Chains A and B, each alone.
Chain A
Amino acid sequence: MKEKIISIIESYGRTSGRLMDILLSVQAEFRCVSEEAVSLIASELGVSEADVNQTKTFYHFFTTKPVGKYAVYMNNSVTSVMKGMYDVVDEFEKQAGIKFGQTTPDGLLSLNYTACIGMSDQEPAALINNVVFTELTRDKVRKIYSDMRDGKPVEAMFNEFGDGNNANQLVKTMVKNNIRRRGNVTLGEYEVGKGLTKALSMSSQEVIDEIKNSNLRGRGGAGFPTGLKWQFCSKETGDKYVMCNADEGEPGTFKDRVLLTERAHMIFEGMAVAGYAIGAKEGVLYLRHEYKYLKAFMESVLAELRNKNILGNNILGKGFNFDIRVQFGAGAYVCGEESALIESSEGKRGEPRNRPPFPVQRGYNAKPTVINNVETFCSVVKIIENGSAWYRGMGTEESAGTKLLSISGDCKMPGVYEIEWGMTIADMLQMVGAEDVQAVQVAGPSGICLPPSQFNRKIAIEDLPTGGSMIVIGANRDLIKDVVLNFMEFFEDESCGSCVTCRSFNMILRKQVKKVVDGRGIKSDLDNMLAWGEIMRKTSRCGLGQTASNPVSTTIKNFLDLYNARVKDAEYQSDFDMHKAIEESCEVVGRPANIHE
């Protein structure tokens, strides 16, 4: 073990800045990062064990005890549950004879839950040793389990592959693209290198001006003007970085998965354009661990681009040098926040940074850094190619261009749709074949839960801004139990815990929702939830804490009747359960827990 770990550490230049990669490699090699491994890594890197552990224990996919030879991570997001996750869970548990959270005694199989893995259009889905299994059923689970018993490699458990590059030799996944509508920008026609060639014939300021004039705004959800971000960074001096945020973790989002699969060249080309514009030589693509199955493919695209001299030195003979590396995450939603993403890329806990300074001033490795979303970089390429006026001709006045939507849930055609900004929710529902809709969750859990009375609203930054996640919730769903509670469990798990308010309020709000679901809530609980959610919104450092109360607050606002039907009209309700409190001691002394009965 020792030699292998040392060689891993060597391969990453023996620097704690690459701790994430070291831990990922150790976990992959030994199915865990044991205490001995931590001790060795700490001494080799010259840091304390506590320092290594603080990074290791932050991420979902690092474990102290070995995961099974087959490590199942079942997605427990809302859409997975909607599409029958509990049947799949039940079958896995029956077959393996263990519960979720456990490993079989022979070490063959471990069962764990994980947050949204970006497959909401083909749920229920799970990762088994980083290989994606979609549309799982009881039958499929039985087959998978028997294959495990036979010792089959995970890759050999299926032989039908998805469309497009999903069937590429280096990918070979069953994942489907589900591209339902192509627009003219990100999923339209694309010729490798055309955008960059044009960019390199312009001055870097002209490139920035073109992006500014296009009114392109960040596609991750925050909607910050891209050109302005680049302009800020271009004014800084010294080494700089371009980073691509491919950590799409907002439950219900999967459009970046499709771009990474079908538009990898375009993403890297867009990063190179940004590098030229701001004066950076290096780029980092931060890719979520859930998309590990794309690793070899992404690296082959990088190699191909280097061969074509679209990356590397003296690009296209214009004297511009730029290259990109892929950095993997290890399971943490908060790393989609740009400064947390930087921390993580530096081998640390993914805790969002305090601002100022902003990443454009002091980002990766303390150097000025531009971070944009996958879709933003793709849009950049087409804007340079066709001009800002062409781009502004699409969408609305304030929201130019097109947007990719990831639409999932109760509809006939879940998948990725490239639309022009400005479409109403009602039109969107018609487009995806959704009938009898109770609500649409716009922009994922951190967005808003929209009632039918507001379906005439527009998908646009000025009305309903979104990173693209749209979850359709049918009339037959129990909104509070199936959706709100699930979202609050998600935020409780994914808070980094650094801010007092986000760490505690998510737990408290989750418990309050559970109380309502269990029929123990009273009217004043609703007022409390709203008031406490407000405190979390006002006092939390990053977007996670500032929006984590939205599932509660937007549903209390828009679906008050559902809550009122579940809470008692009482002044006071004790949270104390005497029966439960004495249960353990009664068991010890061998008498029934029947006090006050």
Chain B
Amino acid sequence: MSEKVKFTIDGKEYEGAKGQLLVDAAAENGVYIPVLCHWKDVIPAGSCRICTVKVNGRFVAACTTPVEDACVVENNTPELQDIRKAIVEMLFVEGNHFCPACEKSGDCDLQALGYRYQMMVPRFPYAFERRELDATSPKIFLEKNRCIFCKRCVRMIKNDKGQSYFAFKGRGKHLEISMDKKLAATMSDELAEKAMKVCPVGAILRKEVGFSTPIGQRKYDNVPIGSDIEKLHK
């Protein structure tokens, strides 16, 4: 049993295990900190920045920061809420997202966060960058227009030799998600399913199967994202 630590989030006191990531410790206590790149027990990427919180007055990502004894965390402040909303808006203007036509609609974390933060019109100008759709794999489509660069697929979808199916290409404004064509040709159905599942948006979609769960019955169709965590507390 690891050492227990006490900390506060928005003034309320909670308990967690020393060294545990703040985002996980908060969730166990029923406090939702939004995430897009984080996946429990996978090495954090810390790239989407939507879990930005203030710890002892400093801005940090809750998915890369271990919880320390007596740390003071700010989470649901107007400042942080606005930053998170801005990040959602930014992801919408950066890529090309057409929710009504997307197979991931209702299961999409980005869409769900858009609702949660009541995004109406993004404050930023649209980029309208043209990106490719890679359909070379027999199992999946890689729809680069929808990628938000969370690196979940890069970190989690590997073969038994530890080789990556997915990787970043380029940098900065030229950054894109890419697929190893040789490996993708041999991808199993199970791995394709996993890849689609871990993708928080509709960038990785399985071929030949779709809409098995009807619109209206999907994850976020009736409850906002984060409500599963927040329910724990009630």
Contact A504 B180 (CB under 8 A): no
A14 to chain B, nearest CB (A): 16
> How near does chain B come to A527, taking the closest CB pair, in angstroms?
11
Given A49-B180, A54-B169, A507-B173, answer yes or no on A501-B163 (Cβ-Cβ < 8 Å): no
Say yes or no: A506-B172 contact (C-beta < 8 A), given A499-B47, A500-B47, A500-B48: yes
CA of A46 to CA of B162 in the docked complex: distance in angstroms?
Answer: 9
Proximity bits, B52-95, A CB within 8 Å = 1, else 0: 10000001010010100000000000000001001100110110
Q: How far is the CA of A539 from the CA of B168 in the complex (A)?
A: 21
A150 interface residue, CB < 8 Å from B? no
Instruction: Kindly state the interface size class of chain B when it binds its partner.
Output: 35 or more
B231 close to A (CB within 8 Å)? no
Q: How far is the CB of B145 from chain A (nearest CB, A)?
A: 15
Q: Closest chain A residue to B91 by CB distance? A: A500
CA distance A497 to B48 in the complex (A): 10
Q: Which residues of chain A are within 8 angstroms of B173 by Cβ–Cβ distance? A: 492-493, 495, 497, 503, 506-507
Task: Give Cα distance in the complex from A448 to B169, angstroms.
Answer: 32
Chain A residues positioned under 8 Å from B61 (CB to CB):
354, 541
Considering the chains assembled together, what is the distance between the CA atoms of A505 and B48 in angstroms?
13
Count of A-B contacts with CB under 8 A?
Answer: 125
- Asked if B191 lies at the interface with its beta carbon under 8 angstroms from chain A, I say no
Q: Select which of A492, A500, A538 is within 8 A of B148 by beta carbon.
A: A500
CA distance A332 to B172 in the complex (A): 11
B175 close to chain A: CB less than 8 A:
yes
With A48-B183, A508-B124, A508-B125: A53-B49 Cβ-Cβ less than 8 Å: no
A:220-272 near B, CB below 8 Å: none
Q: Are B161 and A46 in contact (CB under 8 A)?
A: yes
Complexed CA–CA distance, A56 and B165 (Å):
16
- What residues of chain A lie closer than 8 Å to B91, measured between beta carbons? 500
A578 at the interface (CB under 8 A from B): no
**Chain B contacts of A51 at CB under 8 A?**
163-164, 167, 180
What is the 8 Å Cβ interface bit string for chain B, positions 118-136, against chain A (1 contact, 0 not)? 0000011101000000000
Partner of B49 from the list A54, A355, A492, A540 (CB cut-off 8 Å) is A540
Q: Is the CB of B83 within 8 A of A535?
A: yes
A47: which B residues are within 8 A, CB to CB?
163-164
User: Are B167 and A498 touching (Cβ within 8 A)?
Assistant: no
Q: Is the CB of B180 within 8 A of A50?
A: yes
Shortest distance from the beta carbon of B107 to any chain A beta carbon, whole Å: 21
Can you list 16 residue pairs at the A/B interface with Cβ under 8 Å?
A48-B180, A49-B182, A50-B180, A51-B180, A54-B167, A349-B171, A354-B61, A497-B171, A497-B173, A499-B49, A501-B49, A503-B149, A504-B127, A508-B90, A532-B86, A540-B49
